[in-house]
């Protein structure tokens, strides 16, 4: 019997909501399925266990009808409701819904006016002028839709980092159950902690010849075929369409094989050149000195043979890292403060108490609560009365002293004119403020840059949240001059966030060194909407490490008092 994990269940519920929306179903029912998808992602522990013990039935937004759908998905991997909707709604309409800026109303208009229900026909209409001729469309909308279609096609080749990580980890567990497998290591782009992943690679250590082990791979659940096999590697193709390359090595050569399987190509080319300069040869996934095989049971032994320090996988990108000092990178345990989280006061699924307790168990010393501001009405943004109620609850929890210290924050919308949401007398009551853009993404680069720079002039702003607005494999970053933003942030003493939600991972790791060189302080924010979102922090740490950051570069590696001193310095 095929079952479904929490991510699969949440995706299925979101699909149901999308199909219902496209059918013009009651808006309340659509919202119910969307809310249930968020609740499922936020349920702590095993989803099947939450079904058995009744805790899922008691969760916010899970009524009897939706509970029945979830139960069916968890136990059978299928949903009668979803399958029925798939027969009623053309699949192409759902693909169209994934194009940024193309909502349900416009899709219905396109379908009704032009009879279009799939991407190829939509693309043709955008190119030949039919789309631009529709009321409230125009040439610019047609051009943006063409860009969205191209982006969607490119994105289909990639996985988000957390999906690739989970899939790789699950496959490692399955491979470890095979006879003669001594160890399994995730390699490739997942190990280098890239934000999106095209190729997944796993290295197996075995006590039998590689070809003998490769013959057993057909026994792995879900494997459809084995392709591209040679004497030490094979590519597994799964029924769901994914592929994973598996490499096999004996223990004495693990170091070299793992380095080569991890990449990048530029790093390997630089290593090969260094090997040649030192009288070695990196060939056939092994290190040779003339005709003598050099054992490298660990990565450290390979780098040491080439008179190099071990290089953290996150830094192995452009090849130039071999000529730079290896920085002391931040570790997850260095983070003292948990920032950017949403509770049931706005659009989160966990209460203030539950989130605080979960952060205590993770070892955080303080938690910065940042529900949405009132401009984000779609996300339950807080009214002044709700703010005061939350502050009173925070004061009470801090008075009890049973968990980490709670800081009063808000994720304030940066309005189109650069003002922060709420008047100054309310903003002054917060311990710190994250300012984020959630609307009007289509401004020009100059307008968007000026909007954010104006926000940074407010003495109440502490951190700029998800600074380019990107959604990986879904929405491109909005146009903004990052050098001007970095310069203004350094001048005003405003930190810039690495948003650790794996759908964002924004700020991009490629610009972090530049930001720090310009004097910008960086923070890591989970953007957690549930207890499960606490795990996002590890992805934020991965981005920071790829950018070469250590604990002194990160605001929430400071104590609560030092964090608050940073925020207060702007108000003096």
CA–CA separation, 98 vs 85, rounded Å? Answer: 17
**3 state SS for 553-570:** HEHHHCCHHHHHHHHHHC
387-396: long-range pairs with CB below 8 Å, 24+: 387/426, 387/429, 389/345, 390/343, 390/345, 390/352, 391/429, 393/352, 394/352, 394/369
Neighbours of 334 (CB within 10 A): 15
Q: Residue 231's pLDDT is what?
A: 82
What would the CATH number be for the domain defined by 158-249? 3.30.460.10
**pLDDT (tens digit per residue) in 187-202:** 999 999 999 998 899 9
Calculate mean pLDDT across residues 202-212.
92
| Strand partners for 382 | 373
All CATH 1.10.150.110 domain ranges of the chain, comma separated, are 6-155
Secondary structure (DSSP) of 261-324: HH--HHHHHHHHHHHHHTT-EEETTEEEETTEEE--SSHHHHHHHTT-----GGG-SSSGGGGS
Calculate mean pLDDT across residues 34-51.
80
Calculate the dihedral angle through the C-alpha atoms of 221, 224, 229, 235, rounding to the nearest 10 degrees: -70
Calculate the dihedral angle through the C-alpha atoms of 174, 176, 181, 182, rounding to the nearest 10 degrees: 160
Yes or no: say if 528 and 562 are a contact pair by the CB < 8 Å rule: no
Give the model's confidence band at 420: pLDDT under 50 very low, under 70 low, under 90 confident, else very high.
very high
**pLDDT (tens digit per residue) in 285-341:** 899 999 999 999 999 999 999 999 999 999 999 999 999 999 999 999 999 999 999
**pLDDT (tens digit per residue) in 87-146:** 788 778 877 887 877 888 889 899 889 988 888 889 888 888 889 899 989 888 888 888
Calculate mean pLDDT across residues 392-405.
95
All CATH 3.30.460.10 domain ranges of the chain, comma separated, are 158-249
**pLDDT (tens digit per residue) in 26-41:** 888 888 898 888 888 7
Fold of 332-569: TIM Barrel (3.20.20)
Q: Residue 1's pLDDT is what?
A: 34
- pTM of the full structure: 0.79
pLDDT of 254 over the 50 cut: yes
**pLDDT (tens digit per residue) in 475-521:** 889 999 999 999 999 999 999 999 999 999 999 999 999 999 999 99
| Strand partners for 159 | 197
Superfamily of domain 254-326: DNA polymerase, thumb domain (3.30.210.10)
CA–CA separation, 456 vs 438, rounded Å? Answer: 16
Q: Does domain 6-155 have CATH number 1.10.150.110?
A: yes
User: Which of these, 241, 223, 244, lies nearest to 167 by C-alpha position?
Assistant: 244
All CATH 3.20.20.140 domain ranges of the chain, comma separated, are 332-569
Handedness of CA 509, 417, 446, 153 (dihedral sign): positive
């Amino acid at each position: 019997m095929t079952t479904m994990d929490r991510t699969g269940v949440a995706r299925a519920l979101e699909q149901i909501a999308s199909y219902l929306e496209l059918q013009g179903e009651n808006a309340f029912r659509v919202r119910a399925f969307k809310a249930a998808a968020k609740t499922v992602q936020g349920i702590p522990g095993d989803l099947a266990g939450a079904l058995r013990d009744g805790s899922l039935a008691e969760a916010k937004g899970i009524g009897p009808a939706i509970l029945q759908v979830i139960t069916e998905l968890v136990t059978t991997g299928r949903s009668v409701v979803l399958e029925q909707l798939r027969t009623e709604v053309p699949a192409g309409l759902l693909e169209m819904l994934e194009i940024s800026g193309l909502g349900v109303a416009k899709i219905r208009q396109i379908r009704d006016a032009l009879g279009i229900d799939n991407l190829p026909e939509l693309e043709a209409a955008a190119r030949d002028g039919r789309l631009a001729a529709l009321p409230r469309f125009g040439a610019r909308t047609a051009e943006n839709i063409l860009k969205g279609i191209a982006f969607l096609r490119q994105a289909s080749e990639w996985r988000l980092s957390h999906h690739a990580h989970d899939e790789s980890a699950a496959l490692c567990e399955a491979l470890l159950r095979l006879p003669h497998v001594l160890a399994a290591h995730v390699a490739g782009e997942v190990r280098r902690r890239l934000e999106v992943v095209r190729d997944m690679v796993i290295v197996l250590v075995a006590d039998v010849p590689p070809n003998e082990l490769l013959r057993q791979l057909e026994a792995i659940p879900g494997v459809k075929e084995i392709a591209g096999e040679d004497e030490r590697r094979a590519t597994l193709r799964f029924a769901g369409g994914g592929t994973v390359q598996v490499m096999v090595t004996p223990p004495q050569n693990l170091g070299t094989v793992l380095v080569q399987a991890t990449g990048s190509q530029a790093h390997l080319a630089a290593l090969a050149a260094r090997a040649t300069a030192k009288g070695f040869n990196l060939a056939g996934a092994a290190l040779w000195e003339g005709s003598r095989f050099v054992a490298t049971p660990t990565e450290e032994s390979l780098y040491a043979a080439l008179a190099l320090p071990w290089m953290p996988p996150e830094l192995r990108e452009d090849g130039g890292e071999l000529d730079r000092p290896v920085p002391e990178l931040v570790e997850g345990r260095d983070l003292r403060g948990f920032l950017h989280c949403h509770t049931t006061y706005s659009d989160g699924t966990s209460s203030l108490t539950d989130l605080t307790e979960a952060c205590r168990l993770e070892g955080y010393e303080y938690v910065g609560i940042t529900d949405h501001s009132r401009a984000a009405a779609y996300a339950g943004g807080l009214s002044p009365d709700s703010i005061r109620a939350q502050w009173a609850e925070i004061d009470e929890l801090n008075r009890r002293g049973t968990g980490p210290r709670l800081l009063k924050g808000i994720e304030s919308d940066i309005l189109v004119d650069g003002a922060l949401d709420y008047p100054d007398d309310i903003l002054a009551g917060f311990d710190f403020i994250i300012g984020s853009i959630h609307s009007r993404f289509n401004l020009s680069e100059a307008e968007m840059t000026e909007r954010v720079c104006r926000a940074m002039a407010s003495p109440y702003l502490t951190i700029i949240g998800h600074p380019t607005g990107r959604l990986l494999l879904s929405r491109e970053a909005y146009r903004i001059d990052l050098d001007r933003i970095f310069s203004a942030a350094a001048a005003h003493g405003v930190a810039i966030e690495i948003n650790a939600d794996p759908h964002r991972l924004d700020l991009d790791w490629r610009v972090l060194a530049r930001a720090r060189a310009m004097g910008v302080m960086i923070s890591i924010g989970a953007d957690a909407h549930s207890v499960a979102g606490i795990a996002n922090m590890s992805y934020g740490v991965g981005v920071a490490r790829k950018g070469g950051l250590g604990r002194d570069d990160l605001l929430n590696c400071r104590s609560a008092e030092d964090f608050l001193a940073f925020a207060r310095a702007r108000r003096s």
